[in-house]
Structure 1
Amino acid sequence: MIQHASVSKGRQENPRILRNAIAIAVASLALPALAETNVAIYGIIDAGLLYQSKTGTDGKSKSSMETSGLRQTIIGFKGDRDLGQGLEGFFNLEAHFDTNNGQFHGTGDAQGNGTPFFRRQANLGLRGDWGSVTFGRQYGPALLAHIGTEPRAFKEQFSNLYAWAYNQYAATNGAPGTERNTNNDVGIFFSNAIQYRNTLGPYSFGVLYSPGGQAGSLDKNSVWAVGGTYTGPVVLSASYQVIKDQATANDNVRHGGLGFAVPFGDFTFKANYLNARNSLSTGSNVSNVNAIGVGTDWKWHPKNTATLAYYDNKDRMNKDDHTRNIVISNDYSLRNDTILYAQMAYVDAGDAATIKTSIVAAGIPSVGHKSTLLNVGLNFTF
């Protein structure tokens, strides 16, 4: 019961009574179970400046503040609790926003679903020596498998993170009655998902399934995805995922990947191949994009890592939807949690280039032209 201090007209409350009342209120609201749970707040703040030599159809240059050049800007909450007998419970809540204006980053969810507060993660699960099972909105295992083999580790600017995302966006983001899947957000985040993950020696893998929630069908609106990584003298990665239409259960997206990374002294050589096939809900093929990336990381100083990467992305169904890209970058660690980065991309875009072959967050800088982009920024992790 919460006690209240009485107040007579013209007379102030006794401060001691007020303090006691607050103490009793706090004690009555306390949840003893929270003392047994480890809870942490974490995040990334990332912002910088972006210069583009050409933009749009007029070919003019542009300078702007850019959010999330190295990694996405996020704030998250995570926790775990020992349940005894080798079992642990955990949860993750993670929101994505833009540093330049403070707004939510937006979403790749199907039209009409709104913008999720916790776009990236909203899940809980159990783990033990047998692995883990996670329930809710979460990262898919396919993209996670390739982080060590993608030439720029799927950095938020100038990497094949965008060939990945944009090829799994249009075929599932429609309004009801068009191409649509309400469990998919750009092939990276999945709602209503169940995922099993485990690590067995040098092998780590995940298997995810999102039930469609459609009456009379186990296939409509569903997603399944698998991804695995071998980490030994070399790193190998493989993945595959299928995203089905809400109304017809057609495979609107079929996406697969293979990759490897080879360390050699201060250098790490990487190669990654991605293929994305999009179709209409009727089954008609729309695009078939090959995204190839090769690159080298060079740890040339204890605080500096330079990267040289080349990306060649092409839609086999539209030869002019093709981009060739060269990226040069350097990450300078002021300390382990603070990085000053500089990265430059040279983009040669075909006459019909689209976001499906882009490595740039905002899409193709200038269709049918060659462009140079320079991004300098600061990444702060806490």
Structure 2
Amino acid sequence: MSIRHHARATLATTMLLGLPALALAQTNVTVYGIVDASVRRADNAGPDGQSVTSLNDGVYVGSRFGLRGSEDLGGGMKAVFTLENGFDPSSGALGNASSSAGNGNSAAAGGRLFGREASVGLDTPLGLVTLGRQYTLAHPLSGRFQPQPNPNLDAISMFSTHHVARQDNMARYYKQFGPVGVYASYTFNEGNGRGRGVGASYTAGPLDLTAYYQEVNNAGDTVTRGIAGLGGSWLFTKDFKAFLGYMKRNDRGTGPQQENDVVSIGANYNLTPTLVLTANYAQDRQSDVNAGKRKMGYVGLDYLFSKRTDLYAEVDNNRLSGAYPLPRFMGTRDSATSVSVGLRHRF
């Protein structure tokens, strides 16, 4: 082999080997996550109403590890992706498990590698389209009218128990037109059940409003769950923000016709630059089948050591009336008052 031919071969090999590195250099990838562990003393949590003390995942948000990236394609276009894993910090176990398929989710009894989100998309001047396992429209939009958006702890969460937080096989669209945002989604039925939704938001000054409607079908398409929501927030001062929201669930199809009306009111108040007070009251009225009410309230304090680390405590109370179904976090139909303390770090 001549010296010239050897030099050309070496250059070609170097260029080929360098292609992955060049592609990686052009893609902006962010590693992020939250580790949140809480100790909870739960009143009326055992089968006979006993108190239970446990170490758990976060109260307000779930622990997670994620990768998020984008590549500038030129012409105002970007390729984007998100891979986000949920886990229990008390054991390290994978999160987001489901024992059977339905309501837009496949069966995953052992958990999911990227159970919180696994999506890829294209962001263009016409809007953002993403494909994969994603949040339903109701989840982020309803979170905007709650002081703690759809808390991770069932005892202080009401909206997410009805609207289904995520679905597999989803296509989602988003576009911002000045102060107005428009949203649409469709979930393909691949044995997990279908779903579709539309939503809108309006933000101007201290006001933030959202509205949405979505339908979720179980895996056999025998029951359709309709979810409609409307709410918003108002920033009265830089330290005080109030929230008000409403949701209507209406099941139709074979079997019992369940209806729920959920109302929530709450606020966040910065007592000091490093101490935040949260208060929330919500009521779920169920009719037609197992008619009754669940009333829930909680108060929390969050101390910010830094922008990344905080220590929080909350006290919550749940009461049932009528034939409202017994939640899994309650042992008997007596009222339950519980307290949690948690430590959270973001990276």
Which TM class, normalised by the smaller chain length?
0.7 to 0.9
Are 2:208 and 1:235 equivalent residues in the alignment?
yes
Match of 1:60 in 2: 50
Match of 1:166 in 2: 161
Letter in 1 for 2:125: D
- Number of residue-to-residue matches in the alignment: 325
1:64-87 alpha-carbon deviations (Å, 9 max, x no partner): 112121211011111111111111
Distance in 1 between residues matched to 2:54 and 2:217, nearest whole Å: 38
8 Å CA contact 1:203, 1:228 repeated in 2: yes
Match of 1:267 in 2: 240
Match of 1:226 in 2: 198
Runs of 4+ in 1 over 6 A off after TM superposition: none
Distance in 2 between residues matched to 1:80 and 1:164, nearest whole Å: 31
SS in 1 for 2:340: strand
SS in 2 for 1:54: coil
The TM-score normalised by the length of structure 1 is 0.78
Are 2:266 and 1:295 equivalent residues in the alignment?
yes
8 Å CA contact 2:290, 2:324 repeated in 1: no
Paired residue for 2:138, among 130, 135, 142? 142
Cα deviation for residue 242 of structure 1 reads 0.5
Distance in 2 between residues matched to 1:318 and 1:211, nearest whole Å: 30
The TM-score normalised by the length of structure 2 is 0.85
Distance in 2 between residues matched to 1:346 and 1:239, nearest whole Å: 29
Distance in 2 between residues matched to 1:239 and 1:319, nearest whole Å: 26
Provide structure 2 residue ranges, at least 5 long, that are not aligned to the other structure: 1-13
8 Å CA contact 2:134, 2:167 repeated in 1: yes
Letter in 2 for 1:92: T
Letter in 2 for 1:270: F
Match of 1:171 in 2: none
Match of 1:133 in 2: 129
Letter in 1 for 2:231: G
Match of 2:167 in 1: 190
Paired residue for 2:151, among 151, 155, 161? 155
Match of 1:172 in 2: none
Cα deviation for residue 314 of structure 1 reads 2.1
Provide structure 1 residue ranges, at least 5 long, that are not aligned to the other structure: 1-23, 169-186, 215-219
Cα deviation for residue 321 of structure 1 reads 4.1
Letter in 1 for 2:346: T
Are 2:28 and 1:41 equivalent residues in the alignment?
no
Distance in 2 between residues matched to 1:27 and 1:221, nearest whole Å: 44
Distance in 1 between residues matched to 2:94 and 2:292, nearest whole Å: 30
Match of 2:309 in 1: 338
Match of 1:83 in 2: 73
8 Å CA contact 2:35, 2:64 repeated in 1: yes
Distance in 1 between residues matched to 2:139 and 2:36, nearest whole Å: 21
Distance in 2 between residues matched to 1:312 and 1:231, nearest whole Å: 26
1:254-296 alpha-carbon deviations (Å, 9 max, x no partner): 11111121221232221111122234xx533342111211112
Match of 1:325 in 2: 296
Moved more, 147-156 or 38-47: 147-156
Paired residue for 1:376, among 320, 341, 345? 341
SS in 2 for 1:98: coil
Cα deviation for residue 199 of structure 1 reads 1.4
Distance in 1 between residues matched to 2:137 and 2:216, nearest whole Å: 14
